Amino acid sequence: MTSDQERLIAEFVEKGLAGDMDSINAIEDRALRGKVKSALVKAKRSGAVAKESKEDTKIPEKENQQDKQAEQSIDEKIKKMIEEQFPDTLIENSDSDHIQIKPEKWYDIANWLKSDSSLLFDSLQCQMGIDIGDDMLESRYNLHSMELDHYIEVRIAVHRSNPKIPSVEQIWRIADWFERETYDMLGIEYTGHRDLRRILLPDDWEGWPLRKDYQVQETYHGIVVPKMKEGWE
């Protein structure tokens, strides 16, 4: 490496450290660009060590904060709207990354979330159930709007003794199978679901496997479930 090149790289690294990544990405010579980038990474790493590893983590944090702010705004906005439209359904929570609601009016809220022209959540990305302890089961919905490109997460907690949540199967058709899976694994009953059967496990399976207190069956159809394999005591 010539000293000329070294000087160039040093220049670019300084620029990069100052946050000007565009000029580095604009370098035409691929090899030089690669070198600059690797030098930049090195510089950042050593800088991070010197500043007690603050510099390195700051960048993602910043991005995250920005993301969170964006999320917050949509979350807060929806929370406010829910409060107006469906009073008494929102549960205030300290975490701002999701919306916690009561199960009763979930079907109406879901319908509204999908059809309201300022929200248009037309895609249910993921629906999952979780045993959050304290005898509570939770159903979580990750919603996404294809047109407006924003996300929210809705959480509905129910008590284990009466795990009933209105089904949104007729609003987002994919919820059909997602809810069946959650029913299969955690035993949350989705009222109004037209075909609530077990989906992955056999129909005659006992228990709800993903609850935290689930015990493996002793026998299944007369077959003993081995606890320890042979010759492996």
How is residue 196 written in tokens? 């609530």
Specify the stretch interacting with other proteins by CB under 8 A; choose among 1-9, 31-39, 71-79, 99-107: 31-39
Q: By C-beta, is 206 or 230 nearer to other proteins? A: 230
Smallest gap from residue 8 Cβ to other proteins (A): 17
Smallest gap from residue 215 Cβ to other proteins (A): 12
Q: Does 60 help bind other proteins (rule: CB under 8 A)?
A: yes
Residues 130, 158, 165, 188: which binds other proteins (CB under 8 A)? 130
Q: By C-beta, is 80 or 115 nearer to other proteins? A: 115
Q: Does 43 help bind other proteins (rule: CB under 8 A)?
A: no
- Dmax over CA atoms of the chain, in Å, equals 79
Tell me if 106 sits within 8 A of 156, measured CB to CB: yes
Specify the stretch interacting with other proteins by CB under 8 A; choose among 8-16, 81-89, 99-107, 172-180: 172-180
Q: By C-beta, is 80 or 96 nearer to other proteins? A: 96
Concatenating the DSSP letter of every residue in 123-172 gives EEEEEEEEEEETTEEEEEEEEE-TTT--EEEEEEEEETTS-EEE--TTTS
Q: By C-beta, is 81 or 199 nearer to other proteins? A: 199
Residues 10, 20, 23, 38: which binds other proteins (CB under 8 A)? 38
Specify the stretch interacting with other proteins by CB under 8 A; choose among 71-79, 86-94, 100-108, 199-207: 199-207
CA distances from 40 to 1, 24, 57, 184 (A): 17, 10, 15, 51
DSSP assignment letter at 228 = S
Q: By C-beta, is 153 or 189 nearer to other proteins? A: 153
Q: Does 91 help bind other proteins (rule: CB under 8 A)?
A: no
Concatenating the DSSP letter of every residue in 71-99 gives HHHHHHHHHHHHHHHSTT-EE--S-SSSE
130, β-bridge pairs: 138
Residues 172, 179, 187, 193: which binds other proteins (CB under 8 A)? 172
| Footprint of other proteins on 138-157 (CB under 8 A) | 140, 142, 146, 149, 153
Smallest gap from residue 56 Cβ to other proteins (A): 7
Own/partner pairs for 13-19, CB < 8 Å, 24+ apart? 13/39, 13/40, 13/43, 16/40, 16/43, 17/43, 17/44, 17/47
d(CA 108, CA 212): 31
